[in-house]
Structures are given as C-alpha cells and as structure tokens.
Amino acid sequence: MSSAKALRVSNKKRARNISVKSKVKNLIKTARLNIESNDSDENISNSVKDAIKNLDKAAQKGVLHKKNASRRKSRLMKSLK
C-alpha cells in the first residue's frame, strides 16, 4: 500500500474511532447522571443498556480493548447497585 493510501485509510479509521469513543463516553455520562439523580427505574435501565450495548460494539470493532470495555461496564453496573 502506498503511503498516501495508508494515510487516507488511517484518517478514516481515526475519524470513526473518535466518533465511536465520544458516543460511548456520552452514553456512560448520561447513565451515571440518571443513576445519581434517582431518575425513574425505566429511564435508568434504558440508559445503562444503551451504554453497555455501545461498549460491546466498540470492543467488537476494535475501537476499545475488550478488557477496557469490560472494566467500564463493571464500574457502571457497580454504580447502579
């Protein structure tokens, strides 16, 4: 692969990774805020499910390391209890 093409591919992957990471961070933040504010149980469970689902997807795509995603899910569930 030429260096120009490698650079283009790298930039595409970087852009995708940044968007996925920021989405995961925002979902985790939302879930934690819902937990702390004692929001309705349905709202809390939906936000936690969304965060966990997106963490799993990010780990599957290689954006986050598998153990990193697992650690974040564990901490989120710990704060839920």
Domains of the chain: 3-80 (1.20.58.110)
Which of 21, 74, 34, 36 shows the shortest CA–CA distance to 52?
74
Task: Specify the pLDDT at position 42.
Answer: 84
Average pLDDT over residues 26-35: 92
List Cα–Cα distances, 12 to 21, 39, 46, in angstroms: 14, 38, 31
Q: 65 — phi, psi (to 5°)?
A: -70, 150
pLDDT-derived band at 74 (thresholds 50, 70, 90) equals very high
Read off the pTM: 0.82
List Cα–Cα distances, 28 to 5, 45, 51, in angstroms: 35, 12, 6
